[in-house]
Amino acid sequence: MKKVKRKVVSTNPSVLLLYGAPKVGKTTMLSQLDDCLIIDTERGSRMIEGYISEVNTRDELIETLLELKESKDVKYKYVALDTIDKIAEWAEKRVCEEEGVRAIGDLAFGKGYGMVRDKVTQTIEAFKEVTEHLIIIGHRKVAYAVTDGSTIVVPESIDLTGKLKNVIMSGADAIGYVYRDEDELMVSFKANDAIEAGSRCPHLKGQEVKFEWKNIYKEKK
């Protein structure tokens, strides 16, 4: 084997995870990204213009995926899953139907949660194959914990549970928290005691920037 030093392949995130409060402006921002297909699972795109595929069930989501795979003429540079929360909910419902249980916790030894995780991650991997850049949108989850009688705030994160959240976050090249600073929409890739965020991309690592796509996806020089 020869020693071959590989050059940088890309500095932009292939998988971008963005989360924040509902109606903060995430979907509206997606409509401003050129050549982006928004896969809307929550009917949140009806007041915006753009390339939009509204899906209401897991089956419709898979149909959209198959159409993208089979299409030779129509390709999108960006595909946005809006939201991952709903996709996880559908996966859980499907596992319960397939296993004949009412609730995912009814399956012994946490088996159900693993099955949900597999369905969601397989879906994400499949969508990565049909686009250059996958964007995953999620809602925030604010959690609290009681320690020695005192209530502490657990850092805000995407509204998913357990290992599924960890797998999706670890698979993202950049994780941004979307918020408003007065009238300015911002996105933070800087983790702190209040939020979970981060980036492998040098230009986003530790940054808090105005939410403009040119700040996230840098043009090749």
Query: Is residue 132 in a domain?
Result: yes
Q: Please return the burial class of 125, using the count of CB atoms within 10 Å of its CB with bins 0-12, 13-18 and 19+.
A: exposed
CATH number of the CATH domain containing 195? 3.40.50.300
Which residues, 6 or more positions from 105, have their beta carbon under 8 angstroms from its beta carbon?
112
Question: 114-123, 127-136, 149-158, 202-211: which has the minimum mean pLDDT?
Answer: 149-158
Query: Is residue 221 in a domain?
Result: no
**Rounded mean pLDDT, 125-144:** 91
Is 0.85 surpassed by the pTM of this model? yes
Distance CA 39, CA 80 (A): 6
Instruction: Tokens 């609730």: give the residue.
Output: 103
What's the domain count of the chain? Answer: 1
Query: Is residue 196 in a domain?
Result: yes
141-163 residues labelled b (16+ CB within 10 A) or e (exposed): beeeeeeeeeeeeeebbbbbeee
Query: Is residue 207 in a domain?
Result: yes
pLDDT in tens, 48-89: 999 999 999 999 999 999 999 998 888 999 999 999 999 999
Query: Is residue 7 in a domain?
Result: no
Query: Is residue 184 in a domain?
Result: yes
Asked whether the predicted pLDDT for residue 150 surpasses 80, the reply is no
Query: Is residue 70 in a domain?
Result: yes
Q: Write down the pLDDT at residue 220.
A: 73
Q: Which domain holds residue 85?
A: 15-216
Distance CA 54, CA 141 (A): 24
Query: Is residue 74 in a domain?
Result: yes
| pLDDT band (50, 70, 90) for residue 149 | low
